Structure 1
Amino acid sequence: MKRILLIVFALFLSLTLTGCSLQDLLGNKKQKSQSSSQSQQKAVIAVALNEQDPNKDLILRGIEDMAQKENIEVKMISPGTSGGQQSGSSSGGQSSQGGSSGGASESKGSQGQSSQGQSSGGSNSQDSSSQLKGAKILIYQGGNPELLQSVQKDKIPVVALNALPAGVKPAGIILPDPQKAGELMAEPVLSKVSEGQVVVLQGDPSDSATQKTLAATKQTLSKNPKITVQAIASPAGSEAVARQGFVDLLQKNPGKIQAVIAQTEKLAALATEVLKSQQLEKKVLLVGGQANQQSLQRMAGGTQVADIDTSPYIQGVNAFQWAQKIVNKETLDISESVTGDQGEVPAKIVPVKSVTPENLAVVQKSYAKAAETAAKTSGQSQKDQGSSSSGSKDQKGQSSDTQGGTQGQDQKKGSAQGQSQSGGTSSGGNVPQGATKVTEKVQTIITRDYLDSQGKVLGTEKSTSEQNRTIPSEMLKQETQQKSQQDQGQKGQQGQEGAKSDKKS
């Protein structure tokens, strides 16, 4: 008995000297277990974008903004100097990009891990597999083809952007409306050219979307029988073939070619170069199919007459929403399907609009402002991750993640309670008896303001998207318990206040 008392006395003495209590030890252990549990539950979405896309920053911004609202981690995978991949990850929707030009760069994620592109040697397939570790889904627009092999091996679903990847059947694809884009590219030519030849510089002919765009362009131009159409295809990575074909047509048909329609920015830039070399930039009309800052500058300079706004930010938003639904095993809002070498793929079509001299100033300022905001966000994200190398700052990052997860749960809770009240349930937020399934609708409203140099609003556009989600039963139980605890706490507080007022009286 004396020995037991001595051991207990020694334990309390040790705790007293170290300045901590048994409750502190148990509290720290509980806090660590909660933090570990939350980090394990956080969903991770991997993103691989095409470095050649002039609007990739705006697409990424759309993904990150949605991920931040949903407290989902975005793991950005970008090509290194040797065609390999570098990755960076962060929580709350912010992502870091590795692989800057001019050498291999190091990218640190939110967990303090870093990966560095190798200029020689190494196994790309092994690198790709390690970069996808923990990812529930991949949003793929371009990158190392071996990344897709790792996806198949690890059975990770893919959401494709703009084009179907070779050798893989994605769970869905997000792409600008190819039919409408083809019609809009033909309309300015139809209104300005009475007769002559029109050259269409087509993208990858193996892609069904570019085929549909070309068909729509030809059909629209066929309204004028005096216009003949000559298409030049450019398989992926062989734009030089299209360039030479365009030069040959100009030389064989002097004065007969009246307009050029380029489906992508790379082809539009190529056409501009050729026309300038032949001193035809003011004589031959040029219409682009992928609006960006460079093409809009050409329009302002008079070397391009029209373009197509493909809404890159909205593409990113829709890609994230579909990725989230696939991870949660929810129904997709399918508007169409695309046929690839692996069969039919569900498609979400993003609306497009024409850019003309009449709305050029508004669209140009919108793209410039969006690009500037995206650049600031990317710079701040890299700065934040660079400052998280020390142990104490890593702990702050984990604390921030925990707060972000709590905020995300609070947002979902508020949305679920709001729908329950509108559906006629009790104001207490309790689940009605007999309910076996609960769904919620989340509506996202995006407002785009077009400003002049003084900050005056010239125009406003709004786009709305909805997603339906099923609330897990565990979350409902947790909400009910929290609501009950809050009600009990409020009643207790009111009772204490009443007792105090009685004493005063």
Structure 2
Amino acid sequence: MAKKMRTLVTICGLCLCLCLSLTVSGCGLQALLGNKNKTSSASKGKAVTVAVSLNQDDPNKLLITKGIDDLAKKEDVQVKYIDPSEVDNDSALKGAKVLIYQGGNANLLKSAEASKVPVLALNQVPAGVKLVGIVTPDQEKAGELMAESLVSKVPEGQVIILQNDASETGSQELLAGNKSVLSKYPKITVQIIASSSGSESTAKQSLSDLLQKNPGKVQGILAHTEKLSAIANDVLKQFQLDKKVILIGGQASIPSLERIASGTQTSAVDTSPYLQGVNAFQWAQKILNNESLDVSDSITSEQGEIPAKLIQVKAVTPDNLAVIQKSYVKTMQSAEQDQKQQSTKASSQGKDQGASKDQGDSKNQNKQGASSGSDQAQNKSGNVPAGVEKVTERIKTETTRDYLDAQGKVIGTEKTTNEQVKTLPPDMLKQQTDQSDQESKDSSKDQGGQSSKDQSSGQ
């Protein structure tokens, strides 16, 4: 019996020590059972940030943004767009778990490497950085489509290729696609004018010189980017050759589609910018979740083989122009509408903060009015409390505006809030309230709103 008692005392003592230990160390039962549930709950409620740095000169930047934002909203993932003017790159990447990089401040890549933030390239391979992958249009196929559109119109003569950046991988693949088709036509001679970002004026001068030195010989121009296409169009107009020399673009955009419609450009290549944004976000999310990428292609660069997601491209000609142009315009309008909503929301938040003091006073007045049953009875009957010299009335309205397409589908919604403050004489309020009570004894909330409207007109 004594042995059993000693055993019981020992067990109780161990339990007491264990409880004291948990209390002192701040641990609980959850710590003993493990942190599995706690970790899952934390990661489920945690907002993950995807940092995005886009090329500000890309004419389809807004369409790429639309693709990223649409999926981010569905997945409830926070996206941070980094402005190129941000010099503090460490602060710009704060909280970021992955960086989608198309262009912008190159120092951002060094900060990402130092912070061990994975970099996913978009459209082009940045120099001097290790990438986890790249999402890009099939540039070589785009180059082939450009050349095929040209040779269908011009089987011989001199052709000028306006190359964007000879050192960039995507530009090299575009040129390779051009040459693979043009090399099959021995009667076509090729002249290449290479330029780098920011030196498009040099390309414009070089193109002008070639046209002057070879009058009547240049039959076609292949321009790799929208900016180069616009430059070529300006030069051809200057020499009155816009209807004689065929212009083929490598990057479809709303301006290039308009030129095709007007007949000053023969064709372009649809690189699906919206799908670029969609696929870039999908891969970024896989990187966040430590999932394997659905890799089917790769791109060879100075860093070696990079896993690649190639976006399919297609030629834009007068035959399919209407469909593609409609798609670009509708997506652009929807993206612009999203930006307007964000601006309106930010503006409304600023106004709400500015009016927070007045709103607080209004709430206090409502609380004071509801503090006694007799006061409530007076308010309901329309009687003004004794000693009141003026009455302040606040009217807040919210307007929701839906934007519909031709089929009646909502493609955008805009909300605006308006708040008005009016001051009324107590005698006028009492007179109008008594008149309303005489017309109907069972006054309702709607009649009260109509009375407010009458007060406004009377004022």
Which band: TM-score by shorter chain?
0.5 to 0.7
How high is the sequence identity, in percent, across the aligned residues? 55
Q: Does 1:338 align with 2:299?
A: yes
CA drift at 1:264: 0.3
Residues 251, 268 of structure 2: 8 Å contact kept: yes
CA drift at 1:285: 0.4
Aligned with 2:210 (options 246, 249, 271):
249
Point out where structure 1 has 5 or more consecutive residues left out of the alignment: 1-32, 86-123, 395-452, 458-505
Separation in 2, partners of 1:212, 1:39: 42
Query: Aligned letter for 2:329?
Result: A
Separation in 1, partners of 2:158, 2:48: 53
Residues 336, 347 of structure 1: 8 Å contact kept: yes
Aligned with 1:64 (options 54, 57, 69):
69
CA drift at 1:391: 7.5
Separation in 1, partners of 2:343, 2:216: 52
Separation in 1, partners of 2:407, 2:161: 39
Q: Does 1:46 align with 2:44?
A: no
The match for 2:136 is 175
Separation in 2, partners of 1:387, 1:128: 30
Q: TM-score, normalised by structure 1?
A: 0.61
CA drift at 1:37: 4.8
284-293 vs 205-214, greater mean Cα deviation:
205-214
Larger radius of gyration: 2
CA drift at 1:131: 1.6
Aligned with 1:373 (options 325, 331, 334):
334
The match for 2:385 is none
The match for 1:328 is 289
The match for 1:353 is 314
CA drift at 1:39: 8.8
The match for 1:309 is 270
The match for 2:80 is 75
The match for 2:227 is 266
CA drift at 1:393: 12
Residues 176, 349 of structure 1: 8 Å contact kept: yes
Separation in 2, partners of 1:44, 1:155: 14
Query: Aligned letter for 2:174?
Result: T
CA drift at 1:192: 0.7
Q: Does 1:189 align with 2:189?
A: no
Residues 136, 309 of structure 2: 8 Å contact kept: yes
Separation in 1, partners of 2:113, 2:158: 46
Query: Aligned letter for 1:78?
Result: D
Aligned length: 322
Separation in 2, partners of 1:174, 1:151: 18
1:140-219 matches, cutoff 5 A? 140-219=101-180
Residues 387, 393 of structure 1: 8 Å contact kept: no
Separation in 1, partners of 2:305, 2:277: 22
CA drift at 1:38: 7.0
The match for 1:281 is 242
Query: Aligned letter for 2:65?
Result: L
Query: Aligned letter for 1:325?
Result: K
Give the 3 Å change call, closer, same or farther, for CA 128–231 of structure 1 in structure 2.
same
CA drift at 1:373: 0.3
Deviation readout 1:241-298 (Å, 9 max, x if unpaired)? 2222211211121111000010100100110111111111111000001111100111
CA drift at 1:378: 1.4
Query: Aligned letter for 1:378?
Result: Q
The match for 1:106 is none
Separation in 2, partners of 1:235, 1:293: 23
Deviation readout 1:449-498 (Å, 9 max, x if unpaired)? xxxx95599xxxxxxxxxxxxxxxxxxxxxxxxxxxxxxxxxxxxxxxxx
Separation in 1, partners of 2:200, 2:291: 40
Deviation readout 1:65-85 (Å, 9 max, x if unpaired)? 111111100111123xxxx22
Deviation readout 1:307-344 (Å, 9 max, x if unpaired)? 00000000001100111111111111112222233222
Query: Aligned letter for 2:163?
Result: Q
Residues 169, 343 of structure 1: 8 Å contact kept: no
Separation in 2, partners of 1:181, 1:47: 25
Give the 3 Å change call, closer, same or farther, for CA 368–37 of structure 1 in structure 2.
same
SS in 2 for 1:50: coil
Separation in 2, partners of 1:381, 1:77: 16
Deviation readout 1:171-192 (Å, 9 max, x if unpaired)? 1111100121011101121111
* RMSD over aligned Cα atoms: 2.5
Separation in 1, partners of 2:297, 2:50: 24
Separation in 2, partners of 1:194, 1:216: 17
Give the 3 Å change call, closer, same or farther, for CA 148–310 of structure 1 in structure 2.
same
Separation in 2, partners of 1:144, 1:179: 27
Query: Aligned letter for 1:52?
Result: D
The match for 2:30 is none
Q: Does 1:293 align with 2:293?
A: no
Aligned with 1:226 (options 175, 183, 187):
187
CA drift at 1:223: 2.4
SS in 2 for 1:147: helix
Deviation readout 1:412-464 (Å, 9 max, x if unpaired)? xxxxxxxxxxxxxxxxxxxxxxxxxxxxxxxxxxxxxxxxx95599xxxxxxx
Residues 141, 162 of structure 1: 8 Å contact kept: yes
Separation in 2, partners of 1:137, 1:190: 43
Q: TM-score, normalised by structure 2?
A: 0.67
Deviation readout 1:32-91 (Å, 9 max, x if unpaired)? x99x95796221101111110000111011111111111100111123xxxx22xxxxxx
Give the 3 Å change call, closer, same or farther, for CA 41–179 of structure 1 in structure 2.
same
Aligned with 1:235 (options 196, 206, 214):
196
Residues 125, 170 of structure 2: 8 Å contact kept: no
SS in 2 for 1:281: coil
Separation in 2, partners of 1:300, 1:246: 24
Separation in 1, partners of 2:187, 2:90: 55
Query: Aligned letter for 2:222?
Result: I
Q: Does 1:382 align with 2:343?
A: yes
